[in-house]
Structure 1
Amino acid sequence: MSFLLDPLSSEFMLRALVGGVLVATMSAIVGTWVVIRGMAFLGEAMAHGMLPGVAIATLLGLPVVFGAAVSALVMSAGVGFVSRRGRLSNDTTIGLLFVGMLALGVIIVSRSRSFAVDLTAILFGDVLAIGWSDVLLLAVALLVTVAVAALFHRPFVALAFDPRIARTLGLRPRLAQTVLTGLVTLAVVASYSAVGTLLVVGLLLAPAVAAGQWMRRIPATMILAAAFGSLAVLVGLLVSWHASTAAGASIALTSIVLAAVSAGIRAVVARLGATVSSRRTSVSHPTESPITA
C-alpha cells in the first residue's frame, strides 16, 4: 500500500491527481465524439495551433490560458470560414492552418532568447505544478462540457450518422458541427496546462478508443472512457513518482498502453466467444455419419 499511499500523501501529487481526473473526464466526453466523428486531426491541430497565442501571452506577461484560448479560437474560426467559403476539404484546411499556426509560434519563440524552458512546459505540460485555481478552472470547464454535450446530444448523434437526416429533422447540423468544434477547443485549452499541447491528444483519444472496444451506447462509452482516463492519470503519476519520469508524458503513454491492452483483450474475448459458439453449434447440429453397408 505504501507504493500507492506515499506519493498521494504529498499535496502537489493530490492536486495533480484531482486535476488529471477532471481532464480525463472532460476528455472522455469530448473524445468519444471526436472518435465517432473522425476528428482526431482537428484535435491535434488545435493542440499545436495554440502555440502562437501562448508564446505571445508569455512574452507579454499575460495569462497563458488567455493566449491559448485566443489562438485556438482563431484556428477554429479559420477552419470554419475556409471550409464554408473555399473549395478545400476539411483535412486540407486544417492541415494548412495547423502548419501556419505552428510555424508562426516557432518564429515568435525564436525571437526570444529566454523562452526554452517555457516552451518545454507548453509542449509537455507540468501536471505536478497544478494549483487549486487550475483545478477550479478545470471543474468549470468540465461542467460546461457536460451541459453542452447533454444539450446537443441529439444533434450530435444525428450529425454522426447522417447530416442530411439531421437537416431534415431540423437539428441544424452546421451549428452542431460548430458547437462540437468548440467543445474540442475548450477541452484542449483547459487541459494543456496539465499535460501540454503535444500530449493532450493522447487523453482525448486513447481512453475513448479503449472504451469503444466494449461499449456501443454513447453515454456508456463516455463513462468507461472517463474511468480508463482516470486510471491512466493515477498509474502515470505513480510511474512518474517512483521512476522519476515526466508526469504528463507518463500519463499520456499510459493511456495509449491502456488502449492497446483493451484492444488486445477484446480480440481474445471475441476469439474465445467465436470458438465457444462454434462448439455449441457443432454439438447442437452434429454432422451425420454416412450409412455404410
Structure 2
Amino acid sequence: MENLVEYFQLPFVQRGFLEVLFLSVGAGILGTWVVLRGLAFFAHAVGMSTFPGLVLADGLGFAAPLGALASAGIFATSLERLSRRRKSGYDSLTALLLVGMLALGAILASDVFASGANVDTLLFGSLLAISDADVAFAGAVSLIVVAASILFGRTWLATGFDASAVRSLGVRSAIPDGILLVLIALFTTATLSAVGSLLATTLFVVPAATVRLFTARLVPWQLLTISLVAAEGTAGLLLSLATNAPPGATIAMLAGGVFALAFVVTELTTRLRTAPQR
C-alpha cells in the first residue's frame, strides 16, 4: 500500500494515470462502435500503419502525431480507393497494404534512420514517458469521440444492423461512416504515446469485446467498457511499475487475460444453462 502511494506521488505516474482515464472515455465509446460495426481488423491495421510516419517524425524531429496521422490517412485513403477498383476482399486488401506499410517502416527505421528511430518506443509506446501535451491531446480526442457519438450514434447503430434498409429510407450513411473511420484513425493516434502502434487497439477493441460477452445494450456496454479500460489501464500501469515491465505490453496482456477469463466464464455458464436436466 505504501508503494502505491509513493508511485502516485511521482509526476510521470500521475501523467500516465490521467492519460489512462482520459483515453478510457473515448475508448469505451468508440470501442463499442468498432466491435458493433465489425471494424476491429481495420482499427488494428490503422494503428500499425502509423509506424512509417512515426519513424519519419522521430528521425526528422517533427511532432509524432502529425507523422502518425499522415501515415494513417495514406493507408485509409489507399484502402478506400483500391476497394472500389479491385474485386479482392476488403480484408485481403487491408492485409496487403498493412504489410507494405510495415515493410516501409522497417526500411526507414533500419536503413534510413539507423540510430535515430527508437523502434521499441514507436511499436509499444511508453506510458511513463508521456508529456502534458499527450495528456491534453488524449482528453481532446475523447471529447470529440463523445460529441460525434451523440450526433451520429443513431445512424451508426442503424447502419450496423441493416445498411441496405438505412439507404432505402434515404439516409446517406457514407458521411457518418466516413467520420467513424476518421475517428478511429484519430483516436488510434492519441493512444500511440501510451501503447505504441502495435498495441493501439488494446485500449478500445479488446475491452469492448470483453464487455460484449455480457451485455447487448449499447449504453451499459459503453459505460462498462469505459470502466474496464480505466481499471485495466490503471492496473497495468501499477503492475508495470512493480515488475519493471513495459506498460503497454503489460496492459495488453492484462486485457487479453481478462477477455480469456470472461470468455471461459460465459461459455461455462451457457453450457450449464443448456445442459439437459436429469
TM-score (norm: length of structure 1) = 0.88
CA distance, structure 2, for counterparts of residue 58 and residue 207 of structure 1: 30
Matched, 1:115 2:116: yes
CA distance, structure 1, for counterparts of residue 131 and residue 114 of structure 2: 28
Find the counterpart in structure 2 of residue 44 from structure 1. Answer: 44
Report deviation, 1:273: 4.8
Matches within 5 A, 1:61-100: 61-100=61-100
Report deviation, 1:153: 0.8
CA distance, structure 2, for counterparts of residue 274 and residue 25 of structure 1: 36
Please say which structure displays the higher CA radius of gyration.
1
Q: Deviations over 1:104-161 (max 9, x none)?
A: 1111112222035x11110010100122221111110000111112211111112211
| Residue ranges of structure 1 left out of the alignment (5+ in a row) | 283-293
Matches within 5 A, 1:280-291: none
The runs of at least 4 aligned residues of structure 1 exceeding 3 Å deviation read: 267-275
CA RMSD of aligned residues (A): 1.8
User: Structure 1 counterpart of 2:190, which letter?
Assistant: A
Matched, 1:222 2:235: no
Q: Deviations over 1:197-230 (max 9, x none)?
A: 1111222211101111121111211111111111
Find the counterpart in structure 2 of residue 201 from structure 1. Answer: 201
Matches within 5 A, 1:1-293: 1-110=1-110, 111-115=112-116, 118-271=118-271, 273=273
Q: Secondary structure of 1:215's match?
A: coil
Q: Is the 8 Å Cα contact of residues 159 and 176 (structure 1) preserved in structure 2?
A: no
Question: Which protein has greater RCO, CA pairs closer than 8 Å, 6+ apart?
Answer: 2
Instruction: Label 1:4 to 1:263 Cα distance change in 2 as closer, same or farther (>3 A).
Output: farther
Size of the aligned set, in residue pairs, is 277
Report deviation, 1:249: 0.8
CA distance, structure 2, for counterparts of residue 15 and residue 266 of structure 1: 36
Report deviation, 1:274: 5.1
CA distance, structure 2, for counterparts of residue 269 and residue 14 of structure 1: 39
Report deviation, 1:264: 2.6
Q: Is the 8 Å Cα contact of residues 228 and 255 (structure 1) preserved in structure 2?
A: no
CA distance, structure 2, for counterparts of residue 161 and residue 115 of structure 1: 47
Identity %: 32
Instruction: Label 1:254 to 1:154 Cα distance change in 2 as closer, same or farther (>3 A).
Output: same
Instruction: Label 1:257 to 1:175 Cα distance change in 2 as closer, same or farther (>3 A).
Output: same
TM-score (norm: length of structure 2) = 0.93
| Residue ranges of structure 2 left out of the alignment (5+ in a row) | none
User: Structure 2 counterpart of 1:133, which letter?
Assistant: A
CA distance, structure 2, for counterparts of residue 149 and residue 39 of structure 1: 16
User: Structure 2 counterpart of 1:126, which letter?
Assistant: S
CA distance, structure 1, for counterparts of residue 35 and residue 116 of structure 2: 34
